[in-house]
Amino acid sequence: MSITVTTKEQMDLLTAVFLSLRATEEEAFIQADVLTEADLRGIHSHGLQRLPVLVKRIQNGLLKPNVDPEVTWTSQCVMSVDGKDGFGTAIAEKCLRTIAPFARKHGVAALSIRNTSHLGMLGYYCTHRAEEGLICIAFTSSEALVHPFGGAEALVGTNPIAIGFPCGPLPFVFDMATAVCSMGEVIASKHRGEKIPPGWAVDKDGNPTVDPEAALKGSLAPVGGPKGYGLGVCIGLLSGLLSGAEIGNAVLGTLDVEHRCTKGDMFLLLDPKAFPGGNSFESRVGDYLEVLRGCKPQMGFSHVAVAGDHGYAMREERLKDGIPHPEEVWHAAQRLVPFR
């Protein structure tokens, strides 16, 4: 019940769907690329399976193709964008390309974005900036799905942070959410008829649960207790409030098909060349990653990896052998392609 498709087949399908909904060629390509890069790395929660929701959001007028974002510069180093409900993916990628030369000129720059759709895999943008020689720290927010440490209600987003560093031959990109797991993993456990591990979630009354159904009505635990909780709150403040968007329960529309998307994003760019360690930076990053990979493994582990190792290996394999999808995911996507 699995269908394997080539990257080109998936990109062609996705761009055809977005173009048929009046996305520009650039919007269609970038949105398709963000989804496909997630699938190539095995992060299916952020891949093709999101297409039906994206299409419905466009049809419902909540995600608007072909809009002109309103851009404000408070200095050459700070760009703020009102995305006018456009594609979060294309707007973030294009604005990052715009601000990159200023990060190179001044050594540091910041980009805040509000009123755009879900960014997808946050590491996408950091990978591109790192390929261009820049360090990129990205923050974004989600609907409140996570309870505060010791709390019984969902009041904090899964608020991820991603950081990308230039490093040969491939950028080093770390990408984490501040919840102990994703709602996607809880849903997957439910579909497999399995329990979730203890410590992942509480039910709607705040009691610990291993029942995925109860977890879906409850909330997820912050990773590392008070640490993930505090970090998630900070990321909400940086991405949501600073950009002029929302925070906590006022964040809507990153996954549903009924609400305008009210999350915000924040990107910080640093040019290594502006810092004393800049000249040897890429090679020293690579050397340190090799030291980590060379660490003696604990019992039960075959080796020690660094962030991205698994995703890069899978990407290489899937570029060659294709991307596997559950039959129903591929067929649901195919049904969204317009007749010509």
- CA–CA distances in Å: residue 318 to residues 35, 136, 178, 275: 14, 26, 28, 37
Measured from the CB atom, is 29 or 172 closer to a second copy? 172
Token pair belonging to 326: 């559950």
Least Cβ distance, residue 265 to a second copy (angstroms): 12
Residue 9 annotated in active site: no
Segment near a second copy (CB under 8 A); pick from 25-33, 78-86, 188-196, 313-321: 78-86
- Residue 66 as a binder of a second copy (CB under 8 A): the answer is no
Token pair belonging to 55: 């299409």
Count of chain residues binding a second copy (CB under 8 A): 83
In one-letter notation, the amino acid at residue 49 is Q
- Residue 146 as a binder of a second copy (CB under 8 A): the answer is no
- Residue 97 as a binder of a second copy (CB under 8 A): the answer is no
Binding a second copy by CB under 8 A: which of 42, 52, 184, 230? 230
Segment near a second copy (CB under 8 A); pick from 20-28, 50-58, 84-92, 143-151: 143-151
Binding a second copy by CB under 8 A: which of 169, 298, 339, 340? 298
Least Cβ distance, residue 222 to a second copy (angstroms): 9
* Pairing between β-strand 70-75 and β-strand 201-202 as defined by DSSP bridges: unpaired
Residue 185 annotated in active site: yes
- Residue 125 as a binder of a second copy (CB under 8 A): the answer is no
Residues 21-50 interacting with a second copy (rule: CB under 8 A)? none
Give, as one character, the DSSP assignment of residue 287: H
Token pair belonging to 60: 């419902």
> 172 Cβ partners below 8 Å, 6+ apart?
130, 164, 165, 285, 289, 306, 307, 308
- Residue 108 as a binder of a second copy (CB under 8 A): the answer is yes
- Residue 263 as a binder of a second copy (CB under 8 A): the answer is no
User: Which residue reads 């660490």 in tokens?
Assistant: 295
Segment near a second copy (CB under 8 A); pick from 68-76, 84-92, 209-217, 253-261: 68-76
How far is 188 from 20, CA to CA, in rounded Å? Answer: 31
Measured from the CB atom, is 161 or 333 closer to a second copy? 161
> 222 Cβ partners below 8 Å, 6+ apart?
146, 147, 148, 149, 156, 178, 179, 180, 228, 229, 232
The active-site residue, picked from 37, 93, 185, 246, is 185
Binding a second copy by CB under 8 A: which of 47, 212, 236, 253? 236
Measured from the CB atom, is 296 or 340 closer to a second copy? 296
Nearest to 136 by CA among 270, 235, 283: 270
- Residue 135 as a binder of a second copy (CB under 8 A): the answer is yes
Binding a second copy by CB under 8 A: which of 299, 338, 339, 340? 299
- Backbone torsions φ then ψ of 255, nearest 5 degrees: -130, -25
Residue 46 annotated in active site: yes
- Residue 223 as a binder of a second copy (CB under 8 A): the answer is yes
Sign of the four-CA dihedral 317, 322, 324, 330: positive
N residues, the chain: 340
Sign of the four-CA dihedral 189, 193, 199, 200: positive
Binding a second copy by CB under 8 A: which of 231, 323, 333, 336? 231
Give, as one character, the DSSP assignment of residue 62: S
Would you please indicate which residues are annotated as catalytic (active-site) residues? 45-46, 185
